[in-house]
Structure 1
C-alpha cells in the first residue's frame, strides 16, 4: 500500500527514522490531488475543516509500505488524534494519509498559507 506523509515523517526530519527502521520504499514526491489545509499546533496536521482561502495541494512524500507494518505508523501517529484517510495524489494514485480527527477549539491553531496553491511543512 502507499503511505503519503506531509510532516515530521518526511525524509528531512528526524522522525523519518521510523520509516527507515520499517524498511519502507520511497516512491517520490507529489502533491495531494484534493485541497486541504495544513495546520500546526505542537505538530503538523492535515484537515479539510478550514476556510477555503487557506486550502491548497499539500506537498507529500510517497512510501510503499506493507499492510502488516502500518500498525507501527498508527502508534506513532496516535489514532486518538489522527485518522487514516485514503486520498489521491497528483498522478491519481491512491494512498493513506493521516488527517486530524477533530480540532480542539480551546487551543490556538495556526494554518500555513498556500504559496502558488501548494502547502508544505
Structure 2
C-alpha cells in the first residue's frame, strides 16, 4: 500500500490490532473506551471503512467478525513520520529529534539505546 493515510481514529484502532493481532469490533471498542468516550456503532463504522480502504481484513466466517491489520506497523510509522518531518520540521530530522528529546524525558535506557544507534550510524 503506497499511500498509507489512516485518520487519527483509524490509527488508534490499528494500534490495538497491531498489539492484539486480531480482534472483534467489541474487543477493539472495549480498549478504546479506556481512553475516550466512543460509541460502539462509531467504532463499527470506522472499522467497516478501514476494511473498504484495505487497512484491515475481516473474517466473516463466524458470527462475530474478526479484524486484522493489513498494513504493517513499521511501514505505517515510517510513512507518517516522514510526512511529519517534511510538514512540521521542514525536512529536518535533527529538529525532530531535538524537539522530541527536549519535550519528553527519555529514560537512561532509552538514551543509551539512542547513543548506541547514533554510534552505529557514524561507523
**TM-score of the pair, normalised by structure 1:** 0.22
Bigger radius of gyration among the two: 2
Structure with greater strand percent: 1
Higher normalized helix content (fraction of residues): 2
Q: Output the TM-score relative to the length of structure 2.
A: 0.21
